[in-house]
Amino acid sequence: DAGVTQSPTHLIKTRGQHVTLRCSPISGHKSVSWYQQVLGQGPQFIFQYYEKEERGRGNFPDRFSARQFPNYSSELNVNALLLGDSALYLCASSLDKGQPQHFGDGTRLSIL
Amino acid sequence: EDQVTQSPEALRLQEGESSSLNCSYTVSGLRGLFWYRQDPGKGPEFLFTLYSAGEEKEKERLKATLTKKESFLHITAPKPEDSATYLCALLGGSGNTGKLIFGQGTTLQVKP
């Protein structure tokens, strides 16, 4: 079975631009979560969606938004990019909101 | 506030030299503690879930244990392929969310 897939794998943007990252969960998983991982640190929670509804939001500015589609795939949008947004963005899926989360290999976002 | 602290930050072992990684946590109500392995350039790979003090889980050379304040990941007779960053995470937030709160990780290097 396919694991969590994320696209693109790498992305280079400049300050002020916006970006859309995509995630396809494991088949049958209804919950998708997004995390930001800066080099040398553990992932930080951004959003969780379950059955297309937002179920949790981390301490990130309103420039960050997300949504989940009827097929349970998800998008993370970031507007007005800052240098500090450079990071690995990870998507994780789970059967339910409290079950083990399985991660994709992430999108490496670099802001110039 | 829910919090996770991992120690040591880095650990170097000789092949066959057993050791333990520590994960200390504070949480208002434990809903789950997760261990992940992360290889460079990859997303975290799920290893174990522990739900209550006294619980133990094993997988090959790895054994995870849980007390009311700490979790340990014991590595018995490690091999070079066990080299990776090991992440501990709490299931935080309310019962309606699946927010994972990660520690900063322990980077393990096993030399042949």
Cα distance between residue B21 and residue B48, in whole Å:
14
Q: What is the pLDDT of residue A1?
A: 64
Going residue by residue through chain A, which has 112 residues, state the pLDDT in tens, using 9 for 90 and above: 689 999 999 999 999 999 999 999 999 999 999 999 999 999 999 999 999 999 889 999 999 999 999 999 999 999 999 999 999 999 999 998 778 999 999 999 999 9
Residue B92 is predicted with a pLDDT of: 76
Instruction: Kindly determine whether residue B99 and residue A4, on different chains, have CB atoms separated by under 8 Å.
Output: no
Residues belonging to chain B with any Cβ–Cβ distance to chain A shorter than 8 Å = 4, 31-32, 34, 36, 41-46, 49, 87, 89, 91, 93, 95-105
Output A16 or B28, whichever has higher pLDDT: A16
Which residues between 64 and 83 in chain A have a beta carbon less than 8 angstroms from any beta carbon of chain B? none
Look at phi and psi of residue A97 and say left if phi exceeds 0, alpha if psi is from -120 to 50, else beta.
alpha
Residue B42 dihedral angles phi and psi, to the nearest 5°: -120, 165
| Chain A residues touching B4 at Cβ < 8 A | 42
Of A29, A52, A46, A42, which Cα lies nearest the Cα of A100?
A29
pLDDT value at B85 more than 80: yes
Q: What is the pLDDT of residue B1?
A: 83
Mean pLDDT of B26-48: 94
Distance of CA B13 to the CA centre of its chain: 17
What's the angle, vertex CA A26, arms to CA A22 and CA A32, rounded to 5? 55
Asked if A97 and B44 come within 8 Å (Cβ–Cβ), the reply is: no
pLDDT over 70 at B95, yes or no: no
